[in-house]
Amino acid sequence: MEILLFGIAKDIVGQSEIRISSDDAALHSVQELKDFMVRKFPEFGKLSSFAVAVNSEYAQDDVPLNRNDEIAIIPPVSGG
């Protein structure tokens, strides 16, 4: 599973994408992915709202995930 990171999420992780194999974690839903990110990168816990897209489509927490999905984590950005 490929996870693309934008905005502050990229800064927290330190790279613009990460790969998660099913050996690392079995993630079945967007909510599980969010929990995984907070466990792996505790600073994610500070982000109260970020959008998740699955295969370029905005996904609510209950959306199921598949092994080959492309995930994007999109926090809000404010600069101007």
Residue of 14, 22, 23, 77 interacting with another protein (CB under 8 A)? 77
Please measure the distance between the N-terminal and C-terminal CA atoms of the chain and give it in whole angstroms.
Answer: 33
Q: Does 11 bind another protein (CB under 8 A)?
A: yes
Q: Does 25 bind another protein (CB under 8 A)?
A: no
* Angle, CA 32 vertex, CA 41 and CA 29 arms, to 5°: 140
Query: In angstroms, rounded to a whole number, what is the distance separating the alpha carbons of residues 43 and 65?
Result: 23
Q: Does 76 bind another protein (CB under 8 A)?
A: yes
Q: Which residues bind another protein (CB under 8 A)?
A: 4, 6-8, 10-11, 16, 46-49, 51, 53, 56-58, 72, 74-80
